[in-house]
Copies of this chain bind each other. A is one copy, B any other.
Amino acid sequence: MLLEALRKQVLEANQEIARRGLAPHTFGNASGIDRLGQEPLVVIKPSGVDYAKMTPGDLVVTDLDGKIVDGRLRPSSDLDTHTLLYREFPQIGGIVHTHSEFATSWAQACRPIPCLGTTHADYFHGPVPVTEPLSAEEVEEAYVRNTGAIIVRRFRAGGLDPVAVPGVLVAGHAPFAWGKTPAEAVEHADVLEYIARLAYRSTLLGAPDAGLPLHVGEHHYQRKHGSKATYGQR
């Protein structure tokens, strides 16, 4: 089977989305990319299939333009967002889209998630950004691809690094998260949901958006990600 190992990782990531309760029903999808071959290949969840019943063979393999290379089923309807992000963010190896409860609530409120504490700073360098809404023309022209485009536009405009900020809220929609692998993308999606929960409560308790002093956030981010990282068994 083509890309059998990656298929298994992507299947596992999709099931992990369900296990962690990040996407009720089939609101969610994970993909991974193999950038080693001559042509990069994307493996993605099929559309509207129950997580519990999915097998590696149900996954769909496409090229970076979304053309199906292998697979009997239709790919996730969000495919064009994934492929655009893979094209524009060459550092990432896996993408996860969920409708997780609190992150989606922030996305619907069109508010970035402020960095109010070290749980956030350990994973996201600065606020979790929120995109602009799509214009009527962008929706009409290519809704799914343009969802990727407004994400990229938000990162370019803000000078954001997708490695340091491994996720985003699409205004009026829901979060996308990514990572080096599909497994790391799910982890980031899960952390994003957790910091969305924390920030929601803190905000309702009156925390100002400029919550955490910058020097604390910076220290925490660097202790996990900087060149002198002190966390874990490295």
Contacts and interface: CB of A to CB of B under 8 A. Distances in A.
Contacts of A117: 104, 107-108, 172-174
Nearest to A120: B108
Contacts of A213: 133-134, 136, 172
Contacts of A223: 77, 143
Nearest to A99: B119
* Total copies of this chain within the assembly: 4
A164 interface: no
What range describes how many residues of A lie at the interface? Answer: 35 or more
Contacts of A198: 99, 101, 104-105, 108
A201 B105 contact: yes
A118 B139 CA distance: 13
Contacts of A27: 119
Contacts of A216: 133-134, 139, 172-173
Contacts of A139: 215-216, 219
Nearest to A223: B77
A226 interface: no
Contacts of A35: none
A227 interface: no
Contact of A174 (B48, B99, B102, B118): B118
Contact of A49 (B119, B200, B212, B233): B233
Interface of A: 24-25, 27, 46-49, 73-74, 77, 99, 101-102, 104-111, 116-119, 133-136, 139-140, 143, 172-174, 187, 190-191, 194, 197-207, 211-213, 215-216, 219, 223, 230-233
The 4 A-B pairs with the shortest beta carbon distances in the complex, nearest first, are A48-B232, A105-B201, A108-B202, A109-B205
